[in-house]
Amino acid sequence: MQVLKLRKKEIELGRKTLITGILNVTPDSFSDGGFFDTPEKAINQAENLIKAGADIIDIGAESTRPNFIPVTAEEEIFRLEKILPSLAKLPVPISIDTYKAEVAEYALKSGAEILNDIHGLQFDGGEKAKIAAKFNAPVIAMHNRPENFTPDGDIIAEIKNFFRRTFEIADKAGLPRSQIIFDPGIGFGTTREEDLTILRRIEELKILDGREIPLLLGVSRKRILGHLTGLEKNERDEATGAACVAGILRGVNIVRVHNVEMISKMCKIADALKI
């Protein structure tokens, strides 16, 4: 059983599926933009997510939905300053969803314990890897295609090669590989068929060059579920749960979701059915 080392405690991976509750403090996130963009609303929602079963709270202060409008690191930090000190006092670890090194360092100094990077440590020449190593913070490293990338071959092989580069960057920065969780990046530059392939074959990502890798699945309310069901984004929680259960039975360790209350119940059944 793998253990992630945090400043306050350790987290076991494999004993049960861990649930990361999504808390976006943005005006424009694709599903819940503007809902929790005041300190009072954000803290209340975080407490609700914990009561519903969240093991981790993942805070996003910049939307990364398709065609998102980037904000500066200063603006992202400004949004976090209002809520992060209070959220860091909650009884579960806080993860910071950012690809900017300055924001990552601010958040880890201010009580966040996990770094969630949509560019898999490959955006800024390894600066975020150095920051994670400085704080010995676990990193959720997501697969993401760079601009103008032309797919060539099997999506699973592509993701594995991406994660090999992530490991190389982590090694150079002094960040232990044991502190890295991989997220295959459903919907980030991938096609509908590629997303389906990832979901069907996600267990193949559990082993990379002989090493067992913890996996996070972030499929909550995503476009692929809309394609399959014809439902609008805020109607996709049952579909999200079905995808999460399928992922858990294929080896996923963590799911990242909006509707924690509903999906935590599904996770309990999936955990009981795992062999």
Q: What are the catalytic residues?
A: 222, 256
Closest by CA position to 52, among listed 263, 234, 220, 239: 263
**C-alpha distance from residue 186 to each of 183, 216, 219, 240 (Å):** 8, 11, 6, 12
Per-residue DSSP letter, 92: S
CA distance 130 to 171: 10
215/201 Cα distance (integer angstroms) = 13
**Rounded CA separation 184/156 (Å):** 9
H/E stretch holding 256 reads strand 254-257
Which of helix, strand or coil describes residue 249? helix
DSSP 90: S
